[in-house]
Amino acid sequence: MSEPLLVVDKLSVHLPCGDRIVRAVDEVSFTLQRGQTLALVGESGSGKSMLCRAIMGLLPGRARLPAPGRIVFAGQDLGVLKASERAGLCGRRIGMVLQDPLSALNPVMKIGRQIAEPMRHHLGMTRVQARERSIELLRAVGIAQAETRIDCYPHQLSGGMRQRVVIAIALACEPQLLIADEPTTALDVTVQAEILDLLARLQRERNMAMILVSHNLGVVAGRAHETAVMYAGRVVEQAPTAELFARMRMRYTRALFDAIPRLDDPAQAMLTAIGGQSPDLAALPGGCSFAPRCARAEERCSDQAPMLVSDGHARHRYACWFPCAVGATA
Amino acid sequence: MSATGCSIRACGGGASRVDRKAGGVFWLAVAWLALVAVLAVSAAWWPLPAPDQIDWVRLTAKPGDGGHLLGTDNLGRDIAARLLFGARVSLFVGFLAPCIGLLAGGLLGILAGFYRGTIDALIVVVIDTLLAFPRLVLLLVVAFVFGSSLFSLTLSLGIVIAPSLALIVRALTIRIAEREFILAARAAGANDAAIILREILPNVLMPMLVYMLVMTGLVIVAEGSLGFLGLSVASPMPSWGGMIAEGRDVLAEHPHVSMIPAAVMFLTVLAVNLIGDRMRGWLDVRESQL
Amino acid sequence: MNDADTLLRVENLAVEFPAGNRGRVRAVADVSFDLARGEALGLVGESGCGKSSLARAIMQLPRPTSGTVALDGEKLTALDAANLRSLRPRFQMIFQNPAASLNPLRTIGRAIEAPLRTLGRHDAAERTRLAREMMAAVGLDPLQFYERRPSQLSGGQCQRVSIARALMTEPRLLVCDEPVSSLDVSIQAQIINLLREVQQTRGLSLLFISHDLAIVRHLCDRVAVMYLGKLCEVAPVGALFSAPRHPYSRALLAAIPRLDPKHRPAASDLLPGEPFSPMDSIEGCSFRARCPRAREDCAVQQPELCEIGAGHLVACHHPS
């Protein structure tokens, strides 16, 4: 296998908050090959957005990245880059799609200019070149009548359209890595499927690597090569997506899976909810952080934190003392 | 948004650290304002000459001369005593005029922002007219009608700042009125008066308190400017503005006559603004948690 | 359904908004349906289809442009303001945005009491007792949460507060406008279960609005599918999910994310393009531009809701 595009190694993100430290991301490691999609799944507050922002270099100023955490992008350790070099990477080689397409666009600027801006800035294109490329990009993200739509303002477009524009902006400089942070959470179900398919198609066509973030396991099911489930800042289970759905081991993954309303269980049945709240990241309990909400938790779970281990499948790792039995999932 | 999400944002990055460093200055400002207020209230009880008592021997005496702590003005009146009594005027006007302005402007602003439509259009026309009217002329008109008493000065300054406060309250009200908790109150059967009083008013008042302090600073300075034009309270009642104005004639030879009241006014306005800034900081934290 | 069972009857409801200088937007056009006592009806459609406008028109917030809404035979649309207020305790609403639907300055306990105070029911001590009881009923520990403010709560907890507040007046009808779409899936399930529990234990009628059919399936007895201001299919849950007849219902169903990595929805069921804007005046079927089954007659005549099975109504010239 060739050199991976992105290596995240024991990365932690700490946010000092008064006298306390919020451990937003805690020793997360993964690698991402070119042309592959990694899904990050977890509840809000599980650290998945902070992880994305750390990779983009867009952390809040007070955030600390304690040693030995490293992010290596295309062979380059991002930690040793100067701020200006880092900024050159963002938007050019790493693109980002955010959750809310309305607040991600500048309401008083025509969308054409918003797409053209990064190309003129990073690639030094002229106004005319950038406009032509913008029209091409709008077509590529499936916007009909791109020539006229390019002069629209964001409020003249529907939510799905706006998200397509945001994707076009992220793609403008042909990034090698696209980070999509909850790209469909603010959208309707019908539009969600289209946007996810669009992202998958673009990723294939351009041989991009993609990090797809969602709180819904159903969203990533058919669309990611690999899936990592995060809880309280840690990766608690990670596997190739098909393997993960076939043999879920970690209790939290299973609970997330069960919480999603399905079309094949009896109508009007009670849903299997996860009780309680996600934990306070500034005061994490010792041991497994999911233990207080886990039905199977025993004394050992709150004493000792489980490490990521693999059994059977080499690329399937999970952190659980009492994993689900293999073959228990549908 | 989860509870942890809240706690991350509530920290608000650098702001809280700056706040802590600025803490000393903030308490200094509070102390100064408290001192001025206490001295203003207790002005009559200090062993000082009466503010209109003229010391014929010592005109424009330097501070410390002949038992005059801060000297005398060009009519030989004790500056320290006049400062204390003048503080009454400044503080009275400074705190009451914004209240009058908020009462009048706030009422109009809430009604306009809550009902929109025709009522809004009418009120906005009134506000725009008042804003287009030269302030000084407005003040002259009120002074002409009500005479140049402390009350009429306060009233006229209140009327002058009411339109801008009305616009701010209107904008706040519009923003709050479209929140869903207003609909929820309606769904529970609350009538307009209950919604305005219980749901909108508290949410408008919080941010308005900060504006009020900004206005206090502005009004104290405005009183000073009016004193300069002879439009403040009538002599011999002392006011800081009037004192600065009276020192104008002897500014070159005896600068302290103008400079002492000017410095006191400067410090007071600065203190009010510092407190206002700090309160805005608290408010921002609250807002960001929503 | 006989009249004694009917709690809510909506007839020919229309909602229009002024839209700049371009005249008016029809957000809801000629919608009629009944809701029985203790029944849960799901109202499903994309954003902009008018489902929120319909919910608010039923709540008389504001009153609809035309048509009637009758609760227990009492025509809400014909009542004056005072009489309407006296009936409000009987129908309550839960909103989409959990944080925005609570007054940020008010403690949780006082927010839940507020409806009783508005009505002037009970004394202060009794109101507090009832509020604490209700907090416990929706899964919020009164000791821990009574004195907290909305900013100290998570989205799911805020939504529990909204539910508690709506239940304080002992309503017969609860209108829920996308109450879970801004929540994480794990929290969604908690709130859905809670709504289901209170609906069943209190015999409430529920009008549950969502863009997600999968959720509706767990909570509702019947489903109404809405497209651009009109109902296009109304059916019992079982019938709609096993045999959807309107092409738009099929598309909504196909779009639900599946928990199966190998699952691929049939391309014929997915919708190309975006919906018409309600600003456009449309002749014929408003869905035809995105409809895989559209033919010439769809452009000529607007389809009406017709009964094609037991309690199964469809507005389509060519149902599948």
pLDDT in tens, C226-257: 988 899 999 999 899 888 999 999 888 888 87
Strand partners, C9: C34, C70
C118 Cβ contact partners less than 8 Å away, ≥ 6 residues apart: B185, B188, B189, B190, B194
Q: What was the pLDDT predicted at B1?
A: 35
Residues in chain C with CB shorter than 8 Å from the CB of A260 are 185, 189, 214, 257, 259
Q: What CA–CA distance (Å, rounded) separates C212 from C210?
A: 5
Q: What CA–CA distance (Å, rounded) separates B142 from B154?
A: 10
Phi, psi of B205 (to 5 degrees): -60, -40
pLDDT at B191 over 50: yes
pLDDT at C281 over 70: no
Q: What was the pLDDT predicted at A239?
A: 92
| Cβ-contact A263, A75 below 8 angstroms | no
Q: Give the residue on A whose Cα is nearest the Cα of B8.
A: A17
Phi, psi of C19 (to 5 degrees): -130, 90
Domain residue ranges of chain A, discontinuous segments joined by +:
248-264+272-330
C-alpha to C-alpha distances, B173 to A91, B129, B209, nearest whole angstrom: 39, 21, 15
Q: What CA–CA distance (Å, rounded) separates A141 from A163?
A: 10
| Residue among C81, C99, C106 minimizing CB distance to B290 | C99
pLDDT at A141 over 50: yes
Is the pTM higher than 0.95? The answer reads: no
Per residue in A84-115, pLDDT (tens digit) is 888 778 878 888 888 777 778 888 888 888 88
Q: Strand, coil or helix: what is B206?
A: helix
A275: DSSP letter: P
The one-letter amino acid code at C252 reads: L
Residue B151's Cα: distance from chain center in Å?
A: 15
Q: What CA–CA distance (Å, rounded) separates C100 from C150?
A: 9
Q: Give the residue on C whose Cα is nearest the Cα of A160.
A: C274
Strand partners, C28: C15
Q: What CA–CA distance (Å, rounded) separates A144 from A142?
A: 6
Q: What was the pLDDT predicted at B34?
A: 93
| Cβ-contact A209, A34 below 8 angstroms | yes
Average pLDDT over residues C204-229: 90
Q: What was the pLDDT predicted at A328?
A: 47
Pairing of strands C230-236, C222-227: antiparallel
Tokens for C101, please give them.
Answer: 């639907």
Average pLDDT over residues A247-253: 88
B260 Cβ contact partners less than 8 Å away, ≥ 6 residues apart: B63, B70, B71, B79, B83
Pairing of strands A94-97, A37-41: unpaired
Which has the minimum average pLDDT: B19-33, B90-104, C131-145?
B19-33
How many angstroms away from the CA of C14 is the closest CA of chain A? 23
Q: pLDDT band for B15, please (50, 70, 90 cuts).
A: very low
Q: What CA–CA distance (Å, rounded) separates B220 from B153?
A: 12
Pairing of strands C222-227, C40-44: parallel
Per residue in A19-56, pLDDT (tens digit) is 788 888 988 999 999 989 999 998 888 888 889 988 88
Q: Give the residue on A whose Cα is nearest the Cα of B11.
A: A17
Residues in chain C with CB shorter than 8 Å from the CB of B190 are 118
Place of tokens 């954003």: C47
Per residue in B128-159, pLDDT (tens digit) is 998 888 888 878 787 778 777 888 888 888 98
Average pLDDT over residues C63-78: 91
Residues in chain C with CB shorter than 8 Å from the CB of B6 are 151-152, 154
How many angstroms away from the CA of C25 is the closest CA of chain A? 15
Q: Average model confidence (pLDDT) for chain B?
A: 81
| Cβ-contact C246, C309 below 8 angstroms | no
Tokens for B164, please give them.
Answer: 């801008």
pLDDT at C206 over 90: yes
Share of chain A above pLDDT 70, in %: 98
| Chain C: partners with 3+ C-beta pairs within 8 Å | A, B
| Cβ-contact C127, C171 below 8 angstroms | no
Share of chain A above pLDDT 90, in %: 15
pLDDT at B214 over 50: yes
pLDDT at C266 over 70: no
Q: Average model confidence (pLDDT) for chain C?
A: 86
C-alpha to C-alpha distances, A14 to A47, B8, B55, B62, nearest whole angstrom: 11, 11, 70, 61
pLDDT at A269 over 80: no
Q: What was the pLDDT predicted at C40?
A: 93
Q: Which of A141-145, A251-255, B15-19, C264-268 has the highest mean pLDDT?
A: A251-255
pLDDT at B59 over 80: no
| Cβ-contact A179, A146 below 8 angstroms | no
Q: Give the residue on A whose Cα is nearest the Cα of C258.
A: A218
Q: What was the pLDDT predicted at C182?
A: 81
